[in-house]
A and B are shown apart, each in its own frame.
Chain A
């Protein structure tokens, strides 16, 4: 991920990446457009952009999402995309969107990870996203116990609303 541009890929491998991302996004319930851009971004691997309607929403995945997926000590592609689907739920779910209106960017990121952990199919992806949410609270000065309690309450609330 450190180099400025990813190594060249053949057209068929680029299509395979696009298809893999689209498949994961659909399985996680993403609505809208999904694209793969073979460049490095500063996003961590993917980005959600709200459109004028849900069908116009855009999920963009970048080359580092695949680099991270290939690293056993980093996030899987499924977890990265589930986090972005979490952002879409925050923006589009009628009850959840009301709940989070006006929330800080940092809180939104925590909620996106929690939602991602709820919708993930594999245990390992769910655990990664729960850890990511806990980490965001711990680095903001919460004790691990307070962070876990808070996340547990949030998780129950979100599960009830979904």
Chain B
């Protein structure tokens, strides 16, 4: 069962866990993993996951501003 926690809540909790700048934190983790020859798919997924939400929020705000 995937559970009842909403995706937006999951995003919020992950962002909180990554500190004030989650994208910079993920970039740092990706760079470290690459240096150590480790895979980065999960971190890159998380980065896109957070970025996607930010783009959507910006779009929503822009749409709101036109009204």
Question: Do A135 and B14 touch across chains, with their CB atoms under 8 A apart?
Answer: yes
Knowing A72-B56, A130-B42, A152-B42 are in contact, say whether A135-B5 is a contact too (CB < 8 A): yes
Instruction: With A123-B48, A126-B45, A148-B46 as known contacts, state yes or no: A132 contacts B2, CB within 8 Å.
Output: yes
In contact, B3 and A130 (Cβ under 8 angstroms): no
Chain A at the B interface: SS class: helix
Residue of B nearest to A80 (CB): B2
From residue A144, how far is it (CB to closest CB) to chain B in Å? 4
A73 touches B5 (CB 8 A): no
A116 — nearest CB in chain B belongs to which residue? B2
Counting CB contacts under 8 A, is A83 at the interface?
Answer: yes
Q: Which of B10, B38, B43, B56 contacts A135 (CB 8 A)?
A: B10
CB <8 Å contact, A155 and B41: yes
Residue interface mask A41-83, B partner, CB < 8 A = 1: 0111111000000000000000000001001111100011001
> Are A155 and B6 also in contact (CB < 8 A) when A127-B49, A144-B18 are?
no
Separation of A152 and B14 alpha carbons in the complex (Å): 16
Q: Is A88 engaged at the interface, CB distance under 8 Å to the other chain? A: no
Tell me whether A26 is interfacial, beta carbon within 8 Å. Answer: no
Known contacts A74-B7, A131-B10; A148 and B29 CB within 8 A of each other = yes
- A117–B42 Cα distance when bound, in Å, is 10
- Is A24 on the interface with B (CB-CB < 8 A)? no
Minimum CB distance partner of B38 in chain A: A152
24 contacts between A and B (CB under 8 A): A44-B5, A46-B1, A73-B8, A74-B8, A75-B2, A75-B7, A80-B2, A84-B2, A109-B1, A113-B2, A117-B45, A124-B52, A131-B7, A131-B49, A133-B42, A134-B42, A135-B5, A135-B10, A138-B13, A144-B14, A149-B33, A152-B40, A152-B41, A155-B39
Measured CB to CB, the residues of A under 8 A from B are 42-47, 68, 71-75, 79-80, 83-84, 109, 113, 117, 123-124, 126-128, 130-135, 138-139, 143-145, 148-149, 151-152, 155-156
